[in-house]
Structure 1
């Protein structure tokens, strides 16, 4: 039996003239993506370069081999949703989430350019939003940079005569995102910068920058109620017609995005010293491990806590965005009992699963007028907040690729302190006690008398023997004196289907039952999937998201969960995003 026969096909993802893409497993490993490309059009040099990269934003190549008609690549499967689908449902992304995704893309491109490869098709359909942030996929248009000049010069002649390999044709890309030079001149790293700029503009406006919609796209960029001025300047500079007028590296672009969110201006990045850039990268390093975070509306201006959401060390999202605080806030005490233990799960054995009702949200202001404006905390308040935060439960599981899927709950036992974006430090250790990895994750906002429960992924692909969770001490800008009331949701008709490959499909409907005091506009509901054993201990955490329903309305959801351990019950925990 050959290597190709050793893989078990779970399902076909894509089948077209460019080949076949499948979801496969092999023995007890996987799932993986297996991509079969016609020999005459396969760009082996690109995949050879990718095989040498450890960047988590790029495909992690497990194997390559040849068959009589095919060149085959096998790489790790990243479960998630395409950016195109996410933006289509949400309409647009807030400034912080859009910036997170853009910086994740810059991280992928920086690693790719270091390998002397240009992607040349940075587009919403080729960005996957996963638990640990945004991933760059689809390298069918990618080229080794040294071959681009030859590919562009005379490509039309080769196309007309039919001579030359298909891989030598001029790279095109997705209309509206591809740089102009990809159609009539030679492409290079700055072509990817053009596309990354257009991608950021698309996320901020929700409008495709193609011929049909370009005027609407440009008008939306000028709308300061939709797009912060500094981020608009980043988009405009990155996507200038002349390559020499753009940012000259993706690291420069990433730093410009960071500085735009800080309020330092977008076009000053090129004037920073190397030390400035190093400091920015260090501040941003933890964020690169994160998924989706709380969305910040550009109209609201700047707060230190908003900036901390991006620059403090944190573990996926979107959200990230990626992205990956999935947060539950549950009221404790008599209020919870009166609501029928609102923030707890009804759990039943086996594959008949429970339902979670929960609160979730953020208060940074007094826009709704239902609470007093939070007062700035004193040094004593900050110390009290640190003592009031507790990790009441946690659990984790190492998947087949060495990453840790976990969930935990933070309690805020104070009566009058709001803690914005508490930091959790996660340490994986080997059997001898040595550190395998140490990551940090910034969560949402936890009100006094509430819990914050979240599920996420962490690690670096090296399986730890033990995992420890600890809370970082809040800074002065993270603590305020006040109270608040988060948005509440209820999950209905929760069910699970399990296939032969061990994949769980968790589905149901989420209802918004109470509007909260959050000043942030909630466009999505993040759904944490938490598995427990028969003793009630957490053994696994995963997540998904859906568009936020209106008050009293419901929104269906379906979340695919892979590589799960043995479990007794499952909860789905919704929060406002």
Structure 2
């Protein structure tokens, strides 16, 4: 695909399939190839090109940045930095919920990622556990800058917004203005999931999840007190009442660094729960 040799299939998502690719110099990348039905949509291709141009300006450490793309390719594709490791979804499913401190440390990295994404005018729109990869030196947020292109195409075809039930903001579901505060809502849901193993609006059908997201309060009874207060503010139904990513980063950094720096926390997998750290180190061997 383009200058990259495809070595393996990594998975699939709302935009298309994801492959492990390798450049001529041996650099590993994740190559995302657009679904044929999206590729055939001229409006999607225009949105995709515009959003990729924005996404390439994101330079935050806790993001898997876009390194190459061909929006006019047949099919269109983009390549991002490859992050060996588990997704947050896999880690919680395989090793269970995390302690309060571990969740807060994770939250600091994710808040910094959102801060860097929002700084260039991008809104992720689909922050969820499977879009958070766990590396030895911190979390990485993936798939930012493409969801808006997919959303436009899906709205045209089906009338449904992009997002994952249980990890989507009320304003995305009601057709209101979507901005950085929508990502903060999703971050709150991700942190609740990490601490409990389930989303804050329960399970069941997507219709039930969407209804509860818009009309009911989240179930945060199982969260420790400090984390519960933070998540409650993120999950406020009113976008203007939610903290910004920068405010969250300042609050979380103060609570977990003990006078040090965030960078010092994310070293040699020590920021992760022990079984997850072992799994991540194992991934690095392959």
Aligned twin of 1:177: 167
Larger RCO: Structure 1 or Structure 2 (Cα < 8 Å, ≥ 6 residues apart)?
2
Inter-CA distance 292–15: structure 2 relative to 1 (3 Å threshold): closer
The 2-side partners of 1:182 and 1:197 are apart by 15
In 2 relative to 1, CA 16–129 (structure 1 residues): closer, same or farther, beyond 3 Å?
closer
Contact kept? 1:120, 1:171, Cα under 8 Å: no
Q: Answer whether contact 2:253 2:262 (CA < 8 A) is retained.
A: no
Instruction: Rate the CA distance shift 1:289–1:524 in 2: closer, same or farther, 3 A.
Output: closer
1:130-149 paired onto structure 2 within 5 Å: 130-139=135-144, 142-143=147-148
Counterpart for residue 222 of structure 1: 221
Q: Which moved more, 1:116-125 or 1:202-211?
A: 202-211
Using the size of structure 2 for normalisation, the TM-score is 0.79
SS of 2:188 mapped into structure 1: helix
Counterpart-to-counterpart distance in 2, 1:218 and 1:102: 18
Give how far 1:25 is off.
1.1
Select 1:244's aligned residue among 240, 257, 261: 240
Give deviations 1:295-320, integer Å, cap 9, x for gaps: xxxxxxxxxxxxxxxxxxxxxx3x2x
Partner of 1:544: 280
1:33 aligned counterpart, secondary structure: strand
Correspondence for 1:60 = 65
Measure how far apart 1:108 and its partner are. Answer: 0.9
What is residue 524 of structure 1 aligned with on the other side?
275
Deviation at 1:13, TM superposition (A): 1.9
Shift of 1:182: 0.3
- Is 1:25 the counterpart of 2:30? The answer is no
The equivalent position to 2:261 in structure 1, one of 284, 290, 313, is 284
CA RMSD of aligned residues (A): 3.3
SS in 2 for 1:222: coil
- The total of aligned residue pairs comes to 266
Structure-2 residue corresponding to 1:90: 95
Assess if the C-alpha contact under 8 Å between 2:29 and 2:80 holds in 1. Answer: yes
Could you say what secondary structure the match of 1:178 adopts? coil
Shift of the 111–206 alpha-carbon distance from structure 1 to 2, 3 Å rule, reads same
1:22·1:33 contact (CA, 8 Å) conserved in 2?
yes
* Conservation of the 8 A alpha-carbon contact between 1:10 and 1:24: yes
Return 5+ residue gaps in structure 1 as ranges: 161-168, 263-279, 294-316, 322-522, 528-542, 546-557, 563-577
Match of 1:14 in 2: 11
Residues of 2 paired with 1:75 and 1:5: CA distance? 13
Contact residue 30 and residue 76 of structure 1 kept, 8 A: no
Distance 1:559 1:20, change over 3 A: closer
Q: Report which of the two has the higher share of strand.
A: 1
Label 1:526 to 1:143 Cα distance change in 2 as closer, same or farther (>3 A): closer
SS of 1:55's partner is: coil
SS at match of 1:13: strand
Structure 2 counterparts to residues 79-478 of structure 1, below 5 A: 79-139=84-144, 142-143=147-148, 158-159=156-157, 171-184=161-174, 185-212=176-203, 221-223=220-222, 227-247=223-243, 249-259=244-254, 283-287=260-264, 289-290=266-267, 292-293=269-270, 317=271, 319=272
**TM score, norm. by length of structure 1:** 0.42
- Kindly indicate whether the alpha-carbon contact (under 8 Å) linking 2:133 and 2:142 is maintained by their aligned counterparts in 1: yes
Secondary structure of 1:57's aligned partner: coil
Q: 1:34: Cα distance to partner?
A: 1.4
For structure 2, the 5+ residue unaligned runs are none
Q: Which has the larger radius of gyration?
A: 1
Counterpart Cα distance in 2 of 1:525 and 1:203 = 12
Shift of 1:291: 5.6
Greater share of residues in helix: 2
The SS at the match of 2:27 is strand
Partner Cα separation in structure 1 for residue 12 and residue 97 of structure 2: 30
